[in-house]
Amino acid sequence: MQPLETGEPTAVGPYRLLGRLGSGGMGRVYLGRSVGGRTVAVKVVHPHFALDEEFRARFRREVDAARRVGGAWTAPVLDADPEASVPWAATAYAAGPSLAAAIADTGALPLHTVRVLGAGLAEALTAVHALGLVHRDVKPSNVLLTVDGPLLIDFGIARATDSTASLTSTGVSIGSPGYMSPEQILGKGVTGAADVFSLGAVLTYAATGESPFPGDSSAALLYKVVHEEPRLGSLDGELRELVRRCLAKDPDGRPAPEEVARTLAPEGAARPVAAGWLPGPLVEQVSRSAVHLLNLEAAQTPASGPVGFSSPSVGSGTGGSTGASSGGGGSEGLAVAGVFGPPPVMPSDRTTGVPEPRRPETPERAAPGKLSVSVAATSAPGADGRGRKVSCTVALAVAGAFAAVTVGSVFAFGFLGDDGAHDDASSSENQSDPSESGPEASAPADGVPDTKRIVPEKYLGTWEGAGYALNGKLPAGTFRVTLRQTEVGGKLGTFRSTDLIGGVCDDVLVLKKVTAKQIVATSVADKDNPGVCTTGEHEVRLIPAGEELTYETDNAEAGDPVARMARIK
């Protein structure tokens, strides 16, 4: 578990936040405590997803599905507000690692543990299917290992078996490569048999430490699930045969979850769990986590005060079941109840509800490339001696591009390939007409030889304008580009993004080529940027548009931002 950073909320609804358990593409999960002292895992979605009505519908469905299931071997939802400006949900907290974290730390599980794990998950799926739901995302990171038994969590994409609505958005995958069933990948009708396929893959992973469909890319994983036989490794005997049936390509050839449960634990999973089902190292880890939790106190509230997202809309947060809870797999061995990400609240304009971009008054350090609705904090002395100015950083997390393998509503792939709209025909040897560069001094002050001064004068200078991400749907603050004369491979200039609440990211632009229509550069993130900024390199295109300059970039993590900029000097 990580401590709260300056600028992160200290309260959500009625819950004090004690630390950050984990994060992912959808939001962040925090460890929280109710007024009555109950420990919960609070899932808060990324603010930019709150602007997406389809995502809100998906989140509502997750809360509804989890509340309906809420039985043995699942983590109950205690409180939620899917209608809040930034939706959130609180689930019971479990002191225990995810299956993925446990395998990474200690390796494959003993046969006895695997059998109890399979029986508990099969009983959970029996309850889910009895409600007419399909979980659709059974995978190692959605399985928690607690002393009181395994827990199936994260009903984020659970769907009624008769539902045909497509609730997806660009960059969001419905399922997990390597654990999805063939029918999910192919976009066919999905029934409870899909969860049984995923269960077979999870049990293989638990028993061998490896997925039955190994691969180094999403495309390879998806292809293997559809076309190749699973690798069952050291599995043998009755368990091997059961897993082989679960992983049948034909849904009709798979056993029902009730049969899986009876085969693995004829008298039910509760009895072997009560007798002790986890191996010693995991029991030790869970015990340490529990002790740590008891000693944990809420951090002192920063000078900015708590950030309250909303009031609760489901339950009181202090009552309800005292069953196991879901947490996050951090350094203390805690596990995350699902994987949702960053929480900050974005200040909004009174009329439009969209935050107004704010230009920095001084050229501070910024964070590169990563288009971030950033919660950066800077300290300045104030009248009370505390004087801390806090802004919330929310880095845009757009799912990485998957290689295309399927169609339909199963996956929403983000393609980064050239769509032919950009003029890349000219090579770096075919640079722009030298006449566009204007007269050069024989001994230029910038040190660039006359023969290599290839950047047309019309590009040089500092440009600034409003940036937008996600196809222009999400305001991204202010972009500033400063361009100078250089040669191919040299430093063309700098890029700075200042998000809606003052967070800054810096990149260096390296000239790649100049064509008759545009400049193409490589944007390299500054290694000293804050963690909220994207890292690495991505392509940038600068295209004249009358007296202005258009900025485009292939940076999926930041939402492929664009900007129309005017020259300011």
- Checking if the pLDDT of 268 tops 80, the result is yes
The residues pairing with 28 across neighbouring beta strands, listed in sequence order, are 23, 44
Helices (H), 188-340: 192-208, 218-227, 237-246, 257-264, 270-274, 280-295
> Quick one: what percent of the chain has pLDDT higher than 70?
66
Q: What per-residue confidence (pLDDT) applies to 379?
A: 34
Among left, alpha and beta (phi > 0; psi -120 to 50; other), residue 336 is: beta
List, for residues 141-186, the tens digit of each pLDDT value. Answer: 889 999 989 999 876 544 443 333 333 333 334 567 889 999 999 9
Backbone angles phi, psi at 7, to 5 degrees: 105, -20
Q: Is 137 a catalytic residue?
A: yes
Q: Which two tokens stand for residue 492?
A: 């063309």
Nearest to 98 by CA among 160, 24, 6: 24
Nearest to 454 by CA among 516, 412, 392, 499: 516
- Greatest Cα-to-Cα distance within the chain, rounded to the nearest angstrom: 90
- Write the CB contacts of 369 (distance below 8 Å, at least 6 apart in sequence): 495, 497, 505, 507, 523, 525, 533, 534, 535, 536, 538, 553, 555, 558
Backbone angles phi, psi at 23, to 5 degrees: -155, 165
Q: Select the more confidently predicted residue: 389 or 190.
A: 190
Domain ranges of the chain: 11-295, 346-569
Q: Select the more confidently predicted residue: 556 or 23.
A: 556
Average pLDDT for 471-491: 87
Q: Which fold has domain 11-295?
A: Transferase(Phosphotransferase); domain 1 (1.10.510)
- Write the CB contacts of 183 (distance below 8 Å, at least 6 apart in sequence): 189, 190, 193, 194, 251
Average pLDDT for 444-459: 72
43 is in an annotated binding site: yes
Please provide the average confidence, as pLDDT, over all residues in the chain: 73
List, for residues 274-301, the tens digit of each pLDDT value. Answer: 999 999 989 888 887 777 766 665 444 3
- Checking if the pLDDT of 538 tops 80, the result is yes
pLDDT-derived band of residue 445, with 50, 70 and 90 as boundaries? low
Average pLDDT for 376-384: 35
Q: What per-residue confidence (pLDDT) applies to 174?
A: 53
Q: Which two tokens stand for residue 198?
A: 């995923």
**Helix (H), strand (E) at residue 40:** strand 39-45
CA 453 to chain centre: 43
Q: Are 139 and 524 in contact (CB under 8 A)?
A: no
The active-site residue, picked from 81, 137, 154, 499, is 137
Q: How many CA atoms lie within 13 A of 285 on its CB side?
A: 23
Q: Are 508 and 491 in contact (CB under 8 A)?
A: yes
Q: Select the more confidently predicted residue: 542 or 361.
A: 542
Q: What per-residue confidence (pLDDT) applies to 239?
A: 96
Query: 220-225, long-range: CB within 8 Å, 24+ apart, which pairs?
Result: 221/177, 221/178, 222/177, 222/180, 222/185, 222/405, 222/406, 223/405, 224/178, 225/177, 225/178, 225/180, 225/181, 225/182, 225/185
CA distance linking residue 558 with residue 534, whole number of Å: 7
pLDDT-derived band of residue 444, with 50, 70 and 90 as boundaries? low
- Checking if the pLDDT of 366 tops 80, the result is no
Q: How many CA atoms lie within 13 A of 447 on its CB side?
A: 2
CATH number of 346-569: 2.40.128.120
Read off the DSSP letter of residue 386.
-
List, for residues 503-521, the tens digit of each pLDDT value. Answer: 688 999 999 999 999 999 9
pLDDT-derived band of residue 374, with 50, 70 and 90 as boundaries? very low
